[in-house]
Chain A
Amino acid sequence: MLTKIAVQTIKTKWKNLLILFAGLVISTAIFYMFSTVANNKAFLTANTSIKSIIVVFVIGEILLGLITFIYLNFANRFLVQLRQREYGLLMMFGANKLSISRLLFMETFFLGLISLVMGSFLGAGLTIVAGNVLQKQLDLTLPHWQIFNSTGFIITICYFIIVFSLNGFLNQLYINRTDINKLLQANQSAEKTPKTGVANFITGIIGIVLLILSFVVMAQLVAKGIFILIALVLAIVLNISGTYLFIRSSLTLVLNVLKGSSLSATGLRRFTLGQLSFRLRAFERILTIVTLLFALALGALTVGRGYELSTPTLAEQSSPFTININQPSKQDDQLISQLQGVTYTKTYQYKQLTNEIVWDAAQFDREPLPYYKSSTSDNSSFTASVPKIQFGNANQISKPNPSDFLIRKTLTDLATATNPNHISIGNTVDTHKFAISKAPVKRVTIVHVKNMTSQPNAQILKKLAATQTKRFPTLATLGVSGAYGFLEISKGVFGGLEFMGFFLAIAFLVMLASTLMFKVLSNVDIDRRRYQILTMIGATPAQRIFANALEIAIIFIVPLTIGIIDVVYGLPMFKALMVNPYIGLTSSLLIIVSFYTLYYVLTVIIYQQMLKKGNK
């Protein structure tokens, strides 16, 4: 009999159960995705230069665990909400409380188990897709990359089994504790909006203070690597509790102010406000974790973008030419001619003696050598701009002014490929010496392009560098000179972080989307009747859609604002790791906010569809 009823429930409420199920599967998948990376120690250590990276990921995993826990708890309550009326009815007709609560436990547990299995598969799929697409997109091949990690998998399984059992147990407790009448009146009772009194004001102030403290800890301790572990945990705890208190008090305040204002009297505004206050308490927790996810996603993306954007700039700063080709072949020349946005191409001749490289001075008068002026302050390498390229003739190369001495570096960099011991070797610029030497003439071509990461340049430069390395084995260990060579090396150093930034951003965004969508859509059933009543009373379709869109908009705006504040003030945390943590902020904001807006529209559309469907 009980199973028959359970099957019937699935039949009639499958849409709701589907939302629930999708939510569970996605959260499992994201946890799997994160665990796979977090527990891949070889990958983490091989791809970053940061010593504490493993600790950071352990903390990250705990944080995600916490977020998932709150989410699952919420999902669980939704399940109970779906079932409790029925359980109440059954009990009223004399069903045994114990068997009912056992049934609910089994339901919770099995639903969890199925989503665990499916979530793991989805997680592996997401890891493959996100991992491979990203590496391809960023032009990286990261060593030790895995799509399955046994430790990560075991942690995922254990974690979810524990949480599902716990939830099942809590459900059992809830059913046992709650009287039948309450069960039958599920979702009917209101929580009144708390008053905006002194207590609420103080809560808000405490929230703001905690948030500010968390930013101070991030900028002063985490950024400087002081007690990094404790500092990170402290920052997170302060930030979460601050966010929670702030959301709680500001929402209460805003709702009360709006309710009091005469503006709220017209149209469906009071209805929207009522809806929001009715769910205020449930929203506080969910909005806190959504805010957290928003900030994490935006932060991760900003750091990833930061590396992506700043490495070409750093590379540009490192050398006034993009690449140098020693002894260019016909093919090389042809490739060079295909480069786009070329600032200059210059070819020089030299002769290689045992202890020095001799350059014909006259050629530098014809084709001056590019260089950067050395900057006066030490900090200048921290600026995000690329200095102007200067050109110097033979005289300047031989006797450079103090501010022009980097011209010698350009000269030294030109012929590294043909000289295994280039550092100890001297470079002489002398027309006469060049003329009398019997050594064969060698040639080197240097090119500068405006953009070396865009196509087709990236592709061409890659080919050029590859043939050079093949021809001159020295380069295999030394790397190609010039800005392009620097870019390749920094990819090895920063590529891992860049990748992790993007990977985590995707994971957090999916989790955010799932949480928010779940929270919003879990209300459809309750709302449907309310919107029907509104129809009956004379609200036009447009008014109804607007009321609904507004309600959802307010829910969406809270994490957006606080999340952005979190990132803007939290970014200094990465000062030790990157030159300018803010460099990727604008573009990341653009990406995430457009995604978020699109997602908002989608949510409203789905909501409307679901409201309509139920009418039939």
Chain B
Amino acid sequence: MKNVIDVKNLNLTYNTNGSKPFYALKDVNLTVSEGKFVAIMGPSGSGKSSLLNVLASLQAPTSGEVLIDDQNIWQLNANQLAKFRGQKLGFIFQEYNLIESLSVFDNIALPLSLAKAKAANIKEAVNHVATLLHLTEQLTKFPSELSGGQKQRVAAARALVHQPKLIFGDEPTGALDSANAREMMNYLNKINNEQHISILMVTHDGFSASFANKIHFLSDGQIVQTLERGDQTREEFYRAVLDFLGTFEE
């Protein structure tokens, strides 16, 4: 099966003024096959967000290769990179990342507007994802008038609306209570299963991670363990994750 993400020998070093360099990612190798849902777990400060930022082309690595959909993203120039992101990637980040000056509809429509889609097509696509994520009632509102869970769903709708190859999520449930988190994960699951969009999600929460097909564990910038869900049900996988975390923490 084809890989949407193929990461080889990735290193990321932060050079803080004065003090010695900090190695945030050390020789990371990782693949995500097409249509799969992969989670990355690890304690705070282990480098999860750093890894995601590099993969999502938001931050340049110190060394190593990142192939997304067979494209080495760090060989693209700023314009090509922007186009690439606009066509192939979707983002759901922890701080919602909605634009307050735009209505919910316009927020969701942004990736399509950027791709210069026709107004009628934009409307259709936005309505479609809004139905999927139960946002039809909220379309004319502004972000400041939404609850946390609703905002997160708007971010998901925006990540989804242009039918990307791959969605990146950084703690997409981080700011949600457990009911909202479960709902969000169900949506992501649905997106993954029905739209065949691959998902790479970073989380420190085992429950959210248990929706994935595969979980990589990160510690001090290195992948230390990988769990495959295989034929297990979500509940079984969740228990396996918790068991592993119990040993991992020690």
Q: Are B110's CB and A537's CB within 8 A? A: yes
Q: Are A274's CB and B113's CB within 8 A? A: no
**Residue B225 lies at the interface, judged by CB distance under 8 Å to chain A:** no
In the bound complex, what is the Cα–Cα distance between A265 and B106 (angstroms)?
A: 9
Query: Which of A190, A192, A268, A529 gathers most chain B CB within 10 Å?
Result: A190
Q: Are A537's CB and B111's CB within 8 A? A: yes
**Residue B91 lies at the interface, judged by CB distance under 8 Å to chain A:** yes
With a cutoff of 8 Å between Cβ atoms, the chain A residues found around residue B20 in the complex are: none
Contact code string A183-198 (vs B, CB < 8 Å = 1, else 0): 0010111101000000
Contact code string B104-137 (vs A, CB < 8 Å = 1, else 0): 0010011101111111001000000000000000
Closest B residue by C-beta to A544: B82
Q: Are A536's CB and B113's CB within 8 A? A: no
Q: Are A188's CB and B114's CB within 8 A? A: no
In the complex, what's the smallest C-beta–C-beta distance from B101 to chain A, in angstroms? 4
With a cutoff of 8 Å between Cβ atoms, the chain A residues found around residue B102 in the complex are: 270-271, 274
Q: Are B86's CB and A537's CB within 8 A? A: yes
**Residue B228 lies at the interface, judged by CB distance under 8 Å to chain A:** no
With a cutoff of 8 Å between Cβ atoms, the chain B residues found around residue A262 in the complex are: 119
Q: Are A271's CB and B99's CB within 8 A? A: yes
With a cutoff of 8 Å between Cβ atoms, the chain B residues found around residue A543 in the complex are: 82, 114
**Residue A275 lies at the interface, judged by CB distance under 8 Å to chain B:** yes
Contact code string B87-100 (vs A, CB < 8 Å = 1, else 0): 10101000001111
Interface residues of A in 527-570 (CB under 8 A from B): 529-530, 533-543
Q: Are B144's CB and A540's CB within 8 A? A: no
**Residue A125 lies at the interface, judged by CB distance under 8 Å to chain B:** no
Interface residues of A in 268-319 (CB under 8 A from B): 268-271, 274-275, 277-279
In the complex, what's the smallest C-beta–C-beta distance from B113 to chain A, in angstroms? 6
Q: Are A188's CB and B85's CB within 8 A? A: no
Q: Are A538's CB and B114's CB within 8 A? A: yes
Q: Are A266's CB and B113's CB within 8 A? A: yes
Q: Are A538's CB and B87's CB within 8 A? A: yes
With a cutoff of 8 Å between Cβ atoms, the chain A residues found around residue B100 in the complex are: 187-190, 278, 530
Q: Are A536's CB and B85's CB within 8 A? A: yes
Closest B residue by C-beta to A193: B103
**Residue B19 lies at the interface, judged by CB distance under 8 Å to chain A:** no
**Residue B79 lies at the interface, judged by CB distance under 8 Å to chain A:** yes
Q: Are A267's CB and B113's CB within 8 A? A: yes
In the bound complex, what is the Cα–Cα distance between A185 and B145 (angstroms)?
A: 12
Q: Are B101's CB and A267's CB within 8 A? A: no
With a cutoff of 8 Å between Cβ atoms, the chain A residues found around residue B85 in the complex are: 536-538
In the bound complex, what is the Cα–Cα distance between A317 and B169 (angstroms)?
A: 80
**Residue B48 lies at the interface, judged by CB distance under 8 Å to chain A:** no
Q: Are A537's CB and B79's CB within 8 A? A: no
**Given that A192-B142, A262-B119 are contacting pairs, would A274 and B101 also be in contact in the complex, using a CB cutoff of 8 Å?**
yes
**Residue B58 lies at the interface, judged by CB distance under 8 Å to chain A:** yes
Q: Are B58's CB and A270's CB within 8 A? A: no
Q: Are B106's CB and A270's CB within 8 A? A: yes
In the complex, what's the smallest C-beta–C-beta distance from B136 to chain A, in angstroms? 19
Top 6 nearest A-B pairs by Cβ distance?
A538-B86, A278-B101, A190-B142, A265-B119, A540-B82, A538-B85
